[in-house]
Structure 1
Amino acid sequence: MLNYKIKIKAFDGYILNLSVIKIMNYISKQNIKVNGPITLPTKKKIYTILRSPHVHKKSREQFKLYIHKIFLVVYNVKSNCLNKIDLPSVVKLKITKC
């Protein structure tokens, strides 16, 4: 039995919340103790590009990309138990041992 830290990332906050609900339902069916979900600060990346490559250097366009994160700590889990969770491909799941 091991303890794991789970960090979940997604660009869309709604899909991230649905994935966390799915994970929490799976964990509750397995009778596993969990701390969380803990929301981590949202990262904002801003990309600025030129609209016109030749003459109008002051004409620029900005794009924003938000990365939402949630953190869970799971106790006394079998090693292969967490890999069976089916999540959307947009959600990135990082599992580390405590």
Structure 2
Amino acid sequence: MTFLLEGASDSSLINIMTATPAQKKTATHKTATPDAEVISRIRIKIRAYDNKIIDQATKNIIETAERHGAQVVGPIPLPTEKTKFTVNRSTFVHKDAREQYEMRVHKRLIDIVNSNAKTVDALMSLQVPAGVDIEIKM
């Protein structure tokens, strides 16, 4: 982690691990390059009912992030959420005759590290297939 000494120029950056206690007290938390806005981590959660379109959307997001120079961690497959619904086949009698339906929600997690403003803009304007839910946290 890099800090800038208070009242000093950009050339006097100190490393917090090797700094003395006096240097740590006078250091302020500023980035080394103020003109290049670097976002530390973007976490993207993708959800879909179909595993083929979620893989297609994941591939599209990873290619876009790598094209803009960001590092990508993932995709990490999260557990599939399974919901079962049981309904009677008939409306009145025959309680033993039932039908079961299952709904599966596939999930993926992607972390984008060392991204810049161009990467975020490209991800926000990205077109994904219908039926894919994307949640972005910065």
Task: Write the distance in 1 (CA, Å) between the matches of 2:47 and 2:103.
Answer: 13
Gaps spanning 5+ residues in structure 1: where?
none
Number of aligned residue pairs: give it: 97
2:135 pairs with one of 90, 94, 97: 94
Task: Write the distance in 2 (CA, Å) between the matches of 1:80 and 1:14.
Answer: 26
Contact 2:64 2:123 survives alignment (8 Å)? no
Q: What is the TM-score of this pair, normalised by structure 2?
A: 0.66
For 2:116, the aligned partner's letter is V
Contact 2:81 2:106 survives alignment (8 Å)? yes
- Larger relative contact order (Cα-Cα within 8 Å, sequence gap ≥ 6): 1
3-state SS of the aligned residue for 1:9? strand
Deviation at 1:77, TM superposition (A): 3.3
More strand by share: 1
1:14 pairs with one of 36, 48, 52: 52
Deviation at 1:89, TM superposition (A): 1.9
Task: Write the distance in 2 (CA, Å) between the matches of 1:55 and 1:41.
Answer: 38
Gaps spanning 5+ residues in structure 2: where?
1-37
1:47 pairs with one of 85, 109, 113: 85
3-state SS of the aligned residue for 1:81? helix
Identity of aligned residues (%): 31
- Over alpha carbons, which structure has the higher Rg? 2
Deviation at 1:91, TM superposition (A): 0.5
Quote the residue 1:77 is aligned against.
116
Deviation at 1:80, TM superposition (A): 3.1
Task: Write the distance in 1 (CA, Å) between the matches of 2:48 and 2:124.
Answer: 18
Quote the residue 2:31 is aligned against.
none
More helix by share: 2
Task: Write the distance in 1 (CA, Å) between the matches of 2:131 and 2:116.
Answer: 25
1:30 aligns with 2:68: yes
Deviation at 1:88, TM superposition (A): 1.1
